[in-house]
Structure 1
Amino acid sequence: MSESWPETLTVRERLVEAAAQLFARRGFASTSIGEVAQAAGILKGNVAYYFKSKDDLLTAVIHAQRDRLMAELQPPAAEAGDDVRSAVMRLLRQVRGSAADLALHGCPVGSLAGEMGRTHAARHADAAGLLLGLETFLHQQFERVMPAGDARRCAEHLLALLQGAAVLAQAHRDAGVVERQVDQAEVWLDTVLARFPASAKR
């Protein structure tokens, strides 16, 4: 059965969105082009007009997820030049807002990277790039107020905490796991930033 898609989405965008949802729920290997076409509400034979292969569709999904995530992490125009806490809190709010989906399907970014590492090694770097991009974002934020080594450890810690929360939430089918861990992450963030006076808003 096809999804109900906003009229503003093009056919290509519907295919990418449908593929992203199916890859997150069922995995890349277990999802067929026909299933993506059905979910997007188009004929299977028409998919080739937009994507020559399933790998091409995967590339489009990875790029769309990366672009969307990075856009969500950018400050609003009115807040350009915001402080480290505000920047990191955008990620925490994004994770909290996804708690229900994480409890049902796990983290789509982490799950895709894990699957590619196990079954599709040639695409692992692309999929893992989503996670590494998040790590780089956090590292860059923390490095604004602390030495590079501390910034790296903080970035690793926070990203590992959030990924672990997604895994445990899916195991329990409990969005509350994510919400509680985001609360703990916020407390940890304030504690860490309090150690570095340079974390004051610039």
Structure 2
Amino acid sequence: VQESKPIFELYLLHGQIRYRLDLPAEELQLDMTKRSLGIEDFAQAAIYQTRCEMEPLAGLLPMDCVSVESANELARTIREMPDGDLLKYLAVLSVEPPADFPGALRLALELDDYERITEGSYEYGQSVLRRIGADEELISVIDGYMNFEQFGEDSMKEDGVRQTEFGLVRRLSSPFDGQTPLQQVF
């Protein structure tokens, strides 16, 4: 995410005063915006237009219930995401579309509950074995006797892994809504 380019543009209105606020913004900029609008709290101003300057994020974010504070927090969160986390966030948004902007912010803040899968079925099968305690020596010993590809595919179904245009993703705490292991198999 480029540092200089804003993630969101909010167009605010208070009385006859219109103001464009680029986010993320520091506290000083937010205070100057309030002074320019003649308000003490952003709730006193109307947001008459919201634009997301990042594609494909713009197509995945609902723009209902946007506040200056939540938009700034989401913009900061996105700006501070480590490499790869933006793709994970986009994948999560496409699997679990939030109903409103606060829901999109909640998903961004809970991103640690998701995993973006970058490996194939063979490697996924091996990583599942590591998760349950197998070490490299054991995996090496059973390599010629076990179908890691099939085990990986079955484990992906069991784990509720979903394919998105941004890659494979799964929720760590539980499979995505509407999925149970039985439904996934059929």
Would the TM-score normalized by the shorter structure come out above 0.5? no
Higher helix share: 1
TM-score norm. by structure 2 comes to 0.24
TM-score norm. by structure 1 comes to 0.23
Higher strand share: 2
Q: Which has the larger radius of gyration?
A: 2
